[in-house]
Amino acid sequence: MATKERELKLLLKENTYQALLKDAQKINGKVQQENYYFDTSDLKLEKKGITLRFRQEDDRWLLCLKMKNTQNSQSTFVSSLEFESQVSLEIFNKCKSKPSSIITWLPKEGASHLNGIANDLKLLGSIKNTRYSLQLFKDLNHSFELDHSLFPHGMEAFELEVEGIKNERESLKIINNIENLGLDYTVNTKSKYKRFVEALLS
């Protein structure tokens, strides 16, 4: 079964990231992630707005196919459908050596998006991400995730992701609250995978 995700993604400058890291209340400790991306050599999935990844957090592994929804180009948030499976290091290693087997471990509806290209899948690479969950506004019931991501060829990005967005009105309210904090940001509608591909090809 698919999960609908709506996220507001704000790119930050390093000094803004460091200020949030220093001053904002942290809900949990530091989380280290690594995202391993699979696609075809000619990026058939990326061209369709699909991300196929394994995510490692400590000894936990999650396989996810994320499909970006068509949305108004003026929207500040990103909407997508996610198909996820909890997996293991053993399954990841099997899929790394035989990428076509990924289709076996995805939920059926998600796996259907790989029909016809499963045999062409390959591991393209990975990004490392350091994440903190923050409490920014007590009156807003959203998840604020502060990320520092390391991409291929030395590219890095600082980002604040706000999860659980319901609509554009709510997204704009959060942006207004962010501005009232005096934070410098740029609204970003590109996925980490899209930016991974851009870094890979640069």
| Domain 3-201 falls under CATH 1.10.1200.10 | no
74 pLDDT band (50/70/90 cuts)? confident
Output the pLDDT for position 140. 76
SS (H, E, C) 87-99: ECHHHHHHHHHCH
Closest CA to 59 of 84, 33, 30: 33
Q: Which two tokens stand for residue 65?
A: 């196919």
Q: What is the DSSP string of 37-75?
A: EEE-TT-HHHHTTEEEEEEEETTEEEEEEEEEPP--TT-
∠ at Cα 186 (182, 189), nearest 5°? 140
pLDDT in tens, 160-176: 999 989 889 999 999 99
Query: Is 0.75 surpassed by the pTM of this model?
Result: yes
Per-domain residue ranges of the chain: 3-201
